[in-house]
A and B are shown apart, each in its own frame.
Chain A
Amino acid sequence: MSEEKKISNHVSLPTGEGRGGATLFDKIWDAHVVSSSEGFPDILYIDTHFIHEVTSPQAFDGLRQRGLPVFRPKQTVATADHNVPTIDQHLPIKEELSRYQVDMLTKNCKEFGVELYGLGHPYQGIVHVIGPELGITRPGGTYVCGDSHTSTHGAFGAIAFGIGTSQVEQVLATQCLLQSRPKRMKIEVNGKLQKGVGAKDIILYIIAQISAAGGTGYAVEYAGDTIRSLSMEGRMTICNMSIEMGARCGLIAPDETTINYVKGREFAPKGEEWDKAVAYWQTLYSDEDAQFDAVLSFKAEDIEPMITYGTNPGMGIGVTQHVPETASFEAKEQGSYKKALDYMGLRDDETLLGKPIDYVFIGSCTNSRIEDLRQVAEFVKGKHKADNVTVWVVPGSKQVQQQAIAEGLDKIFNEAGFPLREPGCSACLGMNEDKIPAGKYCVSTSNRNFEGRQGPNSRTFLASPLTAAASAITGKVTDIREFLAEEVV
């Protein structure tokens, strides 16, 4: 089915000329416009700029060439995550180029006066995990990072998106970004989720419905009672993968859940400042009469535990469903579709359920927070992984790791054959030492199943932490609901 057809099944376009009230997105955007001129993109003020070692060195070089300082170093936060090993972090990084890139970040941060939560620092971790857990990410703010999963921070009711290195340089130099206002889309999910279905399944389902390009050009606000019922961790998982449907960013209006999460965190406002902040955050919602450029609605009851079978995140199905037949696609799409199935070693109409797997990766900025680890630990307690599977559990940050150890989750994991490693991006992107070997299948809680994403010729099935854990126990792609029928989780 083409993208256009897929979307038209769900979209109702506004009919009125005027926009009426403001959307959440517009309220935040308007509060950050420094300057707006006809024919130019807006100059948007950025509250916090997150940087990491991969997409920043050329930007710092640019500053040197221009003879410019970092304009607002106190609004810039750095960490090392993409290149770091996830075992023996106290030792020097073995791979020379990775080590050099991490060292370069340290040198640049020192030279330009930027706070760095580098390897060994108690706040180190995946950039999209540490911002929220430190209380740096807050409702109503604007956040950018040279990383497409910056959309994660939108879970707090903020505008947050990924940028390229030229733009990293731009924000370092000016604390602003030239940016045209995207269109606005609302995606509502209402109803009660089935047992064993969670935030990851919701977002994989939405992307499968509207395709990997279905959100391109839009800022997406997620709404509806199912979304409201999610924890902050779940909301971050949803917003994290907004980019996988091409959206500029994803956001969710702040509520009690949001405020309770932020309260008391290291850099959250305190005392009078806190009260003032909360009063403002309570104004951050889309007005009743706000007009969106597109509105989509989904029913929670329709969502099964999801798994991807192809080489983009839009190629997902319910775990009991069959891989689509090539003939169901338009002629011009069939070549790309066949290429994806060939790469994955799959056939038309095959079911993934019961397919033997080789690796399980639980981690990444999508699913490496303490709640993810608690959920997996609760499920695997007293069970053991299958012999044919290697399992990696990689916490999103040093703080998540410490918390997991404090709660004794590491012991549960060890007994189950799920060793808890040290924080980093790990096997999400095939850049550090953690790679899935060629031809091997990995059920992964990360966000991308692109060719070679987890290592050259690796094959990725994206799924939720529970589906990944259940598949590790059985050694094959598994419907978590089969376990849940027998026990209470």
Chain B
Amino acid sequence: MATKIFKHVQTTVVPLPIENIDTDQIIPARFLKATTRDGFGNNLFRDWRFDENDNPKEDFVLNHPTFSGKVLVAGKNFGCGSSREHAAWAISDYGFDAVVSSFFADIFKGNALNNGLLPVQVSDDFLKKIFDAVYADHKAEIEIDLESQTITISSTGEQESFEINPYKKACLINGYDDIDYILSQKGKIEEFELAR
């Protein structure tokens, strides 16, 4: 089965300069009861975004009229905690194509890549530059190109390259699927089982 493709994005960004954002913040456990992958975007950052009466909290960035875009930019150790893939589904479902941070938790990174949501790890300095650029001008754009593995702040031209596993890169660009790949090696799996 084909998975969601990611190649390139040029967009304004949503800044969330908080460190150690765990997946319980991205999508609280009480919203994990759905049995399909759709609709989680409505509850993205639920308890930061809405008060106990479900009214939007004005001071939260997703409710802020100024900031919007297809890339979320967040503080280090993004996606720590629970392995819930619902976190990646929620971010993607809300409309983000990529998340930029100076550090990602392992499981979140894997889940994002499996859903066509690109985790872009940049240096602390570059992360600060993005925050500075977007707070100076909310229309500041960044450009992420997967083929060349680069992220660029459009207004200043400042650029950094980022790392990605070459296999996962090929999957994202071509829409390849892990299960199709492993099943192509089914003979080897059966041989392995017999040899044990």
Residues of chain A touching chain B, judged by Cβ–Cβ distance below 8 Å, are 34-35, 39-41, 43, 45, 54-55, 57-58, 61-62, 65-66, 68, 82-83, 97-98, 100-101, 104, 146-148, 162-167, 169-170, 173-176, 178, 180, 182, 212-213, 216-217, 243-244, 246, 248, 311-312, 314, 332-333, 335-336, 339, 429-431, 438, 448, 450-453, 456-457
Contact = CB atoms under 8 A, between A and B. Distances in A.
Q: Which of B34, B35, B47, B178 has the most CB of A within 10 A?
A: B35
Contacts of A456: 28, 47, 52
Contacts of B47: 451-452, 456-457
B17 A335 contact: yes
Contact of A332 (B35, B86, B114, B128): B128
A174 B114 contact: no
Interface in B145-195: 165-167, 178-179, 181-183, 185-186, 188-189, 192-193
Contact of B80 (A35, A212, A333): A212
Interface in B46-86: 47, 52, 75-77, 80-86
B179 A148 contact: no
Contact of B24 (A98, A314, A451): A451
Q: Which of B30, B37, B124, B167 has the most CB of A within 10 A?
A: B30
A315 to B, nearest CB: 9
Given A173-B179, A213-B76, A166 B189 contact: no
Given A58-B37, A164-B114, A39 B179 contact: no
Given A40-B167, A55-B83, A97 B24 contact: no
Given A246-B105, A336-B75, A452-B47, A55 B80 contact: no
A97 B18 contact: no
Contacts of B111: 164-166
Contact of A312 (B22, B36, B167): B22
A176 B182 contact: yes
Interface residues of B, number: 54
Contact of B179 (A66, A83, A97): A66
A24 B76 CA distance: 31
A178 B82 CA distance: 20
Contacts of A162: 83, 107
B96 interface: no
Q: Which of A34, A101, A311, A448 has the most CB of B within 10 A?
A: A34
A311 to B, nearest CB: 8
B114 to A, nearest CB: 4
B188 A450 contact: no
B80 A41 contact: no
Nearest to B124: A332
A68 B1 CA distance: 12
Contacts of B189: 34, 43, 45, 174-176
Contacts of A430: 28-30
A248 B179 contact: no
12 contacts: A34-B188, A35-B185, A68-B179, A101-B35, A163-B107, A167-B178, A173-B183, A176-B182, A212-B80, A213-B80, A248-B106, A429-B82
B9 interface: no
Contacts of A175: 189
Nearest to B103: A213
A178 B107 contact: no
Contacts of B166: 39
Contacts of B35: 57-58, 61, 100-101, 104
Contacts of B114: 164, 166-167
Contacts of A311: 20
A217 B1 CA distance: 29
B43 interface: no
Given A35-B188, A178-B181, A165 B85 contact: yes
Contacts of A170: 178-179, 182
Given A166-B111, A212-B20, A213-B20, A41 B167 contact: yes
B88 interface: yes
A212 B105 CA distance: 10
A178 B19 contact: no
Nearest to A96: B33
B167 A39 contact: yes
A58 B111 CA distance: 14
Given A174-B179, A178-B178, A453-B24, A164 B81 contact: no
Contacts of A43: 182, 185, 188-189
Contacts of A34: 185, 188-189, 192
A164 B107 contact: yes
A40 B181 CA distance: 10
A68 B86 CA distance: 23
Given A148-B81, A165-B85, 19 more contacts: A35-B188, A43-B188, A55-B85, A58-B35, A61-B35, A101-B33, A148-B107, A166-B85, A173-B182, A173-B183, A176-B182, A217-B106, A244-B81, A246-B80, A312-B20, A332-B124, A431-B30, A452-B47, A457-B52
Nearest to B77: A213
Interface in B107-126: 107, 110-111, 114-115, 124
A61 B77 CA distance: 31
B106 A216 contact: yes
B77 A212 contact: yes
A165 B20 CA distance: 22
Contacts of A452: 24-25, 28, 47
Contacts of B1: 62, 65-66
A429 B29 contact: yes
